[in-house]
Structure 1
Amino acid sequence: MTNVPRARWGPLLERLADDLTPEPLSDPAWERAFREVPRHLFVPGYYDETADRDPTWVGAEDPGWLEGVYTDDSLITQLRRHPQAPGSWWPTSSSSRPSLMVAMLHALDVRDGHRVLEVGTGSGYNAALLSARLGGENVTTVDIGPALTSTACRRLAGAGHLPTVVTGDGAEGAPGHAPFDRVIATHSVEQVPYAWIAQTRPGGLVLVDVRSVGTPRVGHLARLEVHGDGTASGGFSVSEPGFFMPARHDLAVPQRRFPPPMDLRDAVERSSEIGARALDPPGAAFRLWAEVPDIGITSMGRAALLFTPDGAWATADEVGRVRTSGPRDLWALAEKAQNEWEAAGRPGVEEHLIEVGPQGQRIMLPGTP
């Protein structure tokens, strides 16, 4: 446990709380929890990624560490060498931006006595906030990393909080501790695991960042209400977009997608009424991803590049010169999604709807029956 006199960290925590917008701290119970839980106890170090070199560890012995902890920034707390991209790093845990955490905790809409499942223990800081608000006996937190959960247990106990900490794949929830009134995930998912719905009482809420693995800019926080028939529905109108790192189902392999090898000799060339810039609006890119969940959307210079794990790819320049290859014409799928999006009035990401049931997930345009 990092031993820092309150005289040093107390004013920093108060300043951080004061700097947050008034709305997220409007709930007195959450404001008390936020002002009572010291962030530095859960972030004894973090990686500085601002330098033009490999990430540098900043620990308690380094100048500026404490001030860095008490900023409204997301802090990377664990890195691994990327197995698919030599020379690069793969962040595997972080302490989320405090203003995002507080906004999500408010959106969770908890009441006294509610039982909450947190998926993604990480540093333990969010579990501490939940415990301060609801009592540790009402909080279960799960993470796939044994080192993360064991460290979080020590930090939580040292701070006086005793939630249930589970080591396992968060996609499975925590069936031995269900049912829950609320589920909050601190990582992103492409498909909301049905286990979370099944382990939540009717009327309960699930809050999670639903986001593309192939295109991290495409996604948003979703809030779903669980119904008595075993389904859940909701939307993406939570004020914060999210931008969480993807869930991990294997400690050694990151959840990422990369473009396949591209041989232009195999490509079919044609023209299109839409060009590379058609996918710039977030709502348009989100619509395409909702229709083709395994798609990646990126760029090659001034051209748009679409790709899927089956080896299909497509490029389009700004005037609609298209090249496609593989088992699917991905640009044709982009044209279809674009037409549907335009016909619906060009809705933003936050206007889309989401349903989850035993058969899977569906993201819909507003007004869809």
Structure 2
Amino acid sequence: MTDVPRARWGPLLERLADDLTPEPLSDPAWERAFREVPRHLFVPVYYDETDDGAPTRVGAEDPGWLEGVYTDDSLITQLRRHPQAPGSWWPTSSSSRPSLMVAMLHALDVRDGHRVLEIGTGSGYNAALLSARLGGEKVTTVDIDPELTSTARRRLAGAGHRPAVVTGDGAEGAPERAPFDRVIVTHSVEQVPYAWIAQTRPGGLILVDVRSVGTPRVGHLARLGVHEDGTASGGFDVSEPGFFMPARHDITVPQRRFPPPMDLRDSIERSSEIGARALDPPGAAFWLWALVPDIGITSMGGAALLFTPDGAWATADELGRVRAAGPHDLWALAEKAQKDWEAAGRPGVEEYLIEVGPQGQRIIPPIAL
């Protein structure tokens, strides 16, 4: 553990706690938990990005490390070499921004005696806050990376907390520890695994960042209530958007979806009434994602780029000049989504609903597709 006198870190923690929302730390139980758990014990090292994009390690031996830990910032805590890009690094774990953690813990609406499953142990800091609030015997935390779970288990014990720390694929939950009253997920998923619903008591809550694998900007925190019939439903009206790293089913890298090979000779050219900026509003992009759940939405050279795993792709510039290739015209789907979104009154992401059951997941715009 990082041995720092309380006289140094205590005032920094108090200042950070004073600055946090909601109002700040309006639940007295979370107020106590947050002020009791030192963040620096769980972030002995983090990585900053230099001007040239290279990561630089910041540890206890570096000036400014402690002050950096006690800022309201997300801190990268683990990097791995990207297997598809030799020489580059991929962030695979972080300590979330404290104000986001506080907002999520409030939204989780825990009560004394609740059993909580955390998916994504990471540094162990969030599990420590949960343990301080509920007692370690009520908390189970899961991560696929044995390096992270081993380190977190040691840090948690050093801080006086002993939740159950499980190494495994978070998508499978922790059936041996179920049922749970609450599930909180600290990475994003494109599809909410049904195992989480099955392991949550009726009346329980699941808080998770539901986000496109192909389009990291498209997504938001969802809060789902679990029903007696084994389904769950909810919405995206949590105050914080989330924006977590995607899940890992392989410890090497998070899930991502990349554009297929693009040969302009295979494409058709046409014009469109909408251009590249049409999908800039989050609500509009969310509508298209609800229509085509496996779509990727990104940009390339100033043009919007859409793609799907079946090899289809389409680009559109700001003047509405379209190129499309593959088994279907993806920009035609964007045109339909834009028209329907406009007709519905241009709803924001917080107006969408989500349902999850044994048959899968459905994101529902304010006017059902």
Give the TM bin, normalised by the shorter chain: over 0.9
Q: Secondary structure at the match of 1:110?
A: coil
* Equivalent pair of 1:24/1:99 in contact (CA under 8 Å): no
Distance 2:356 2:168 in 1: 22
Matched, 1:102 2:99: no
Q: Secondary structure at the match of 2:67?
A: helix
Aligned residues: 369
Matched, 1:49 2:59: no
Distance 1:141 1:253 in 2: 20
Aligned residue for 1:275? Answer: 275
Mean alpha-carbon deviation: is it higher for 4-13 or for 316-325?
316-325
- Offset of 1:84 from its aligned partner? 2.1
Which amino acid in structure 1 is aligned with residue 200 of structure 2? T
Cα distance per residue 1:191-236 (max 9 Å; x no partner): 0110000100000000000011111111000000000000000000
* Equivalent pair of 1:119/1:186 in contact (CA under 8 Å): yes
Q: Secondary structure at the match of 1:261?
A: coil
Aligned residue for 1:292? Answer: 292
Aligned residue for 1:130? Answer: 130
Distance 1:237 1:21 in 2: 17
Distance 1:325 1:367, change over 3 A: closer
Aligned residue for 1:324? Answer: 324
Distance 2:22 2:225 in 1: 26
Distance 2:215 2:88 in 1: 18
Aligned residue for 2:80? Answer: 80
Aligned residue for 1:30? Answer: 30
Distance 1:191 1:111 in 2: 27
Which amino acid in structure 2 is aligned with residue 166 of structure 1? V
1:141-220 aligned within 5 A? 141-220=141-220
Matched, 1:18 2:18: yes
Distance 1:200 1:22, change over 3 A: closer
Aligned residue for 1:261? Answer: 261
* Equivalent pair of 2:16/2:72 in contact (CA under 8 Å): yes
Structure 2 alignment gaps of length 5 or more: none
Cα distance per residue 1:148-174 (max 9 Å; x no partner): 001100000000001001000000000
* Equivalent pair of 2:314/2:325 in contact (CA under 8 Å): yes
Distance 1:360 1:85, change over 3 A: same
Q: Secondary structure at the match of 2:309?
A: coil
Which amino acid in structure 2 is aligned with residue 194 of structure 1? Y
Distance 1:353 1:31 in 2: 31
Which amino acid in structure 1 is aligned with residue 81 of structure 2? R
Aligned residue for 1:113? Answer: 113
Which amino acid in structure 1 is aligned with residue 355 of structure 2? E
Aligned residue for 1:309? Answer: 309
Which amino acid in structure 2 is aligned with residue 3 of structure 1? D
Aligned residue for 1:9? Answer: 9
Matched, 1:344 2:344: yes
Q: Secondary structure at the match of 1:238?
A: coil
Distance 1:109 1:297, change over 3 A: same
The percent identity for this pair of structures is: 89
Distance 2:22 2:313 in 1: 46
- Offset of 1:302 from its aligned partner? 2.3
- Offset of 1:24 from its aligned partner? 4.9
Distance 2:154 2:223 in 1: 31
* Equivalent pair of 1:24/1:106 in contact (CA under 8 Å): no
Q: Secondary structure at the match of 1:314?
A: strand
Q: Secondary structure at the match of 2:21?
A: coil
* Equivalent pair of 1:24/1:103 in contact (CA under 8 Å): no
* Equivalent pair of 1:24/1:102 in contact (CA under 8 Å): no
Which amino acid in structure 2 is aligned with residue 61 of structure 1? E
Measured on the aligned residues, the alpha-carbon RMSD in Å equals 1.2
Distance 2:146 2:95 in 1: 17
* TM-score, L = length of structure 1: 0.98
Distance 2:49 2:140 in 1: 32
Which amino acid in structure 1 is aligned with residue 252 of structure 2? A
Cα distance per residue 1:47-86 (max 9 Å; x no partner): 0114425201111111111111000000000001112233
